[in-house]
Amino acid sequence: MSDKIFLTKELFALLFAIVYDLLFGEYPTKIHPVVYMGFVGKWFDKKLNKPEKSNFARFIFGMIAQTIEVVLFLVISTSLVVISKSDNKVAQILGFLVAIYLLKSTFSIRSLYEHVARCYTDDVELLRKNVSFIVSRDVSKLDKAHLYSAAIESLAENISDSITGPLFYYLLFGLPGAVIYRLVNTYDALFGYRNEKYEWFGKFPARFDDLLNIVPSRVTAFVISLFNPVNSWKYILKYGAIKINAMYPMSAFAGVLKLGFEKIGYYKLEGKIPEKEDVKKALELYKKVTAIIILTTIILTAVVK
């Protein structure tokens, strides 16, 4: 009986976390679990990622750093699951509330929308500033078309990273699955760069993130493709393999919207040059795609769990 009650709680936790996100967005920085994941990661970076170390040593240290934090958050999230199933009613309620709090931090629906919506502007300097908040590339010399492209690309890619991924692993493994996915993705965001400092320290986190995103990225691309199957699959088949995961939702987005994306020096997808109104169209597509992903996850959680 207690198992059935807990499984009902899993669905309730998901619903509550989603509603909270849609209404309020992200937690304040001071109480955001992902921020603290990043703090721990940066502490390891400062202590272990020394330039005088060999490439092999830096690779091992990057792997050790992530593994330690994965184990830490696995223990925390699993403990919350156990506490939520305990016979002590007070502990059960407190554990469940903290579990919801932690689950909400693993995905970002409203915040992603709002960040990209700020890029719906003709003011090139404001546009450049807002795009710089959502992409890692240098935007200082990009024209409007490339800035709009970067914003829409980020929106498409982050449907997988910020929504599909954590919900997919929550469906499979409950709270620990969503939390570990978010931790791995956070490490990739912090250290997954091919530069002198992180080429080796960030290699294991980057490859681990690639592994976890193989399914979510392709599921996301499939859902996006439903809104223009012929053109989106044309783009997916032509450009999807450029990047192991990220290009699948991006190429599907470009296909549906009939847009050309370009990251100068890295890739170029054929199509119409993005304009301001295309940001609005992309946001409308985002809402439809996200609604399907969320509703499907809720239904599957109710059936499977």
Sequence-distant (6+) residues with CB within 8 A of 190 are: 38, 41, 42, 45, 202, 205
Number of domain units in the chain: 1
Give the domain range for residue 44: 2-304
275, two tokens: 């304009």
Cα R_g (the chain), whole angstroms: 20
What are the C-alpha distances in Å from 104 to residues 177, 178, 225, 275? 13, 10, 27, 33
Amino acid type, 202 = G
- How far is the first Cα of the chain from the last one, in angstroms, to the nearest whole number? 14
The confidence score (pLDDT) of residue 3 equals 46
138, two tokens: 């240098």
Sequence-distant (6+) residues with CB within 8 A of 69 are: 37, 40, 41, 44, 183, 187
Q: How do the pLDDT tens digits run along the chain, 305 residues long?
A: 344 434 578 999 999 999 999 999 999 999 999 999 999 999 999 999 999 999 999 999 999 999 999 999 999 999 999 999 888 999 999 999 999 999 999 999 999 999 999 999 999 999 999 999 999 999 999 999 999 999 999 999 999 999 999 999 999 999 999 999 999 999 999 999 999 999 999 999 999 999 999 999 999 999 999 999 999 999 999 999 999 999 999 999 999 999 999 999 999 999 999 999 999 999 999 999 999 999 999 999 998 86
User: Which of 10, 28, 148, 18 minimizes the C-alpha distance to 81?
Assistant: 10
The confidence score (pLDDT) of residue 222 equals 98
Residue pair 152/278 in contact (Cβ under 8 Å)? The answer is: yes
HEC-encoded secondary structure of the chain: CHHHHHHHHHHHHHHHHHHHHHHHCCCCHHHCHHHHHHHHHHHHHHHHCCCCCCHHHHHHHHHHHHHHHHHHHHHHHHHHHHHHCCCCHHHHHHHHHHHHHHHHCCCCCHHHHHHHHCCCCCCHHHHHHHHHCCCCCCCCCCCHHHHHHHHHHHHHHHHHHHHHHHHHHHHHHHHHHHHHHHHHHHHHHHHCCCCCCCCCCCHHHHHHHHHHHHHHHHHHHHHHHCCCHHHHHHHHHHHHHHCCCCHHHHHHHHHHHCECCEECCCEECCCECCCHHHHHHHHHHHHHHHHHHHHHHHHHHHHHC
Angle, alpha carbons 176-182-186 (nearest 5°) = 145
The confidence score (pLDDT) of residue 304 equals 83
The confidence score (pLDDT) of residue 305 equals 67
